[in-house]
């Protein structure tokens, strides 16, 4: 197993390198980079991202400093849209500020070297280190991702087993109908409905709409802090869990049905084992392999990407919203850092899934498999 783990770890290197290289190449052809955003702000066409840089503490922290570099009247040609009328020296200073004064290959090499040392630099527009920014947003994503994974698997596995045991019964039919309907309802639409009904929309005002904790959270006792935490999470988790367990429930059911029909189950019953012993002593271990295989993808999806709309609707400032805003604002240090971290975690979780395979079923030996 040690050789297999080492081989998987070594394969992560070209995988991460390929992901970063493709993303970096695509970014080079994407219009509206950070330099163009600052230029657009100066010419009255900018948005929120450039508003932040003009109010920060960097080299270009004040609107007046930008204006002092404007050309006196001679228009110049430039590779940036809207740069006509700006001093070429000012454009060069902007490029240096954002690191675009170097060739693309050199910038890519420097970025990889920094990332190997987990040095992710500073956000272009937030004037805070990327790692501190990620730490700041992490509690929201951990809360949503961890609890939605535990709740969805806690519902889907027992429900899927029950449906497999009672396949074709009235229970199986009506639960399948409920699951299909729940899966078909968009999570963001259900979230809006929850707000209207229970968060001061048009009916009841039982739940808060912003943040993970109340303003007086630090003054509360430990039991009340726990209650306050889950009080804030109740609606977002309800909106996310509605469709989260549908796929894993049906997958669990079909996997158990497939195993129940195999010959070893007939043999176990012939030996006098009761249904519970057959189900959890023999079938469970084999049937759960396919569920374990899908766990890393489900975890990564719910942890990092699945909560964007929910974070926006419930004003939860987490990693999903951070990644989306960074792409829109062309905040490249945040974009590449989150991509690097998420990709690395995805690969490590995939390796962990294989190790769990061998724990659930010791008959699996990845080292003997032909590669």
pLDDT digits (tens, 9 = 90+) for 302-330: 665 556 778 888 888 888 788 888 888 88
User: 288 and 173, same structural domain?
Assistant: yes
pLDDT digits (tens, 9 = 90+) for 253-302: 988 888 888 888 888 888 888 888 888 888 887 887 777 766 766 666 66
Angle at 97 (CA atoms; ends 93, 63), nearest 5 degrees:
70
- Among 119, 146, 176, residue at a domain's last position: 119
Number of domains into which the chain is organized = 2
User: 345 and 228, same structural domain?
Assistant: yes
Distance CA 288, CA 299 (A): 16
User: 149 and 105, same structural domain?
Assistant: no
What domain range is 106 assigned to? 19-119
User: 207 and 109, same structural domain?
Assistant: no
Q: Is-contact 98 39, C-beta < 8 A? A: no
Q: Alpha-carbon torsion 49, 54, 56, 60, what sign?
A: positive
Q: Is-contact 233 226, C-beta < 8 A? A: no
In a domain, 328, yes or no: yes
Going by C-alpha positions, the residue among 58, 142, 69 that lies closest to residue 99 is 58
In a domain, 13, yes or no: no
Distance CA 98, CA 363 (A): 54
In a domain, 125, yes or no: no
User: 294 and 196, same structural domain?
Assistant: yes
pLDDT for the residue 22: 92
Confidence of residue 173 (pLDDT cuts 50, 70, 90): very high
User: 281 and 153, same structural domain?
Assistant: yes
In a domain, 257, yes or no: yes
Q: Is-contact 12 5, C-beta < 8 A? A: no
User: 335 and 311, same structural domain?
Assistant: yes
User: 167 and 110, same structural domain?
Assistant: no
pLDDT digits (tens, 9 = 90+) for 209-235: 877 888 888 888 888 989 988 998 888
pLDDT digits (tens, 9 = 90+) for 39-67: 777 766 555 544 444 444 444 443 434 44
In a domain, 1, yes or no: no
The CATH number assigned to the domain holding 259 equals 1.10.3720.10
User: 155 and 115, same structural domain?
Assistant: no
In a domain, 3, yes or no: no
pLDDT digits (tens, 9 = 90+) for 79-130: 666 566 666 777 777 777 777 778 888 889 999 998 988 888 888 878 888 9
CA atoms within 13 A of residue 48's CA, in its CB half-sphere: 5
φ, ψ of residue 122 to 5 degrees: the values are -120, 145
The SS3 assignment for 203 reads: coil
User: 135 and 90, same structural domain?
Assistant: no
User: 139 and 109, same structural domain?
Assistant: no
Distance CA 280, CA 288 (A): 11
- Among 119, 140, 174, residue at a domain's last position: 119
- Among 59, 86, 119, residue at a domain's last position: 119
């Amino acid at each position: 197993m040690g050789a297999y783990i080492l081989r998987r770890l070594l394969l992560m290197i070209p995988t991460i390198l390929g992901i970063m290289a493709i993303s970096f190449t695509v970014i080079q052809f994407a219009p509206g980079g950070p330099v163009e955003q600052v230029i657009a702000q100066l010419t009255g066409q900018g948005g929120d991202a450039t508003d932040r840089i003009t109010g920060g503490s960097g080299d270009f922290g004040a609107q007046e400093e930008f204006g002092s570099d404007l050309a006196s009247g001679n228009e110049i040609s430039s590779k940036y849209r809207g740069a006509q009328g700006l001093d070429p020296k000012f454009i060069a200073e902007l490029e240096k500020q954002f690191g675009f004064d170097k060739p693309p290959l050199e910038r890519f090499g420097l970025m990889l070297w920094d990332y190997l040392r987990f040095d992710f630099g500073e956000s272009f527009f937030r004037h805070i280190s990327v790692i501190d920014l990620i730490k700041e947003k992490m509690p929201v994503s951990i809360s949503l991702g961890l609890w939605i994974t535990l709740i969805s698997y806690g519902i889907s596995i027992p429900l899927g087993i029950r449906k497999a045991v009672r396949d074709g019964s009235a229970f199986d039919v009506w639960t399948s109908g409920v699951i299909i309907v729940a899966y078909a309802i968009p999570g963001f639409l259900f979230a809006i409905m929850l707000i209207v009904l229970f968060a001061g929309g048009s009916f009841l005002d039982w739940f808060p709409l912003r943040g993970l904790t109340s303003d007086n959270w630090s003054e509360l006792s430990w039991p009340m802090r726990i209650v306050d935490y889950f009080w804030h999470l109740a609606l977002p988790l309800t909106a996310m869990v509605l469709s989260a367990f549908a796929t894993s429930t049906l997958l669990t059911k079909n996997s158990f049905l497939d195993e129940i029909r195999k010959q070893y189950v007939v043999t176990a019953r012939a030996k006098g084992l009761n249904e519970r012993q057959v189900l959890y002593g023999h079938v469970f271990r084999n049937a759960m392999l396919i569920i374990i295989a899908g766990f890393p993808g489900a975890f990564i999806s719910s942890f990092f990407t699945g909560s964007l709309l929910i974070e926006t609707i419930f004003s939860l400032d987490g990693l999903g919203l951070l990644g989306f805003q960074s792409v829109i604002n062309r905040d490249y240090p945040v974009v590449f850092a989150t991509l690097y971290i998420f990709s690395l975690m995805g690969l490590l979780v995939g390796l962990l899934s294989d190790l769990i395979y061998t724990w659930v079923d010791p008959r699996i030996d990845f080292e003997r498999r032909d590669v």
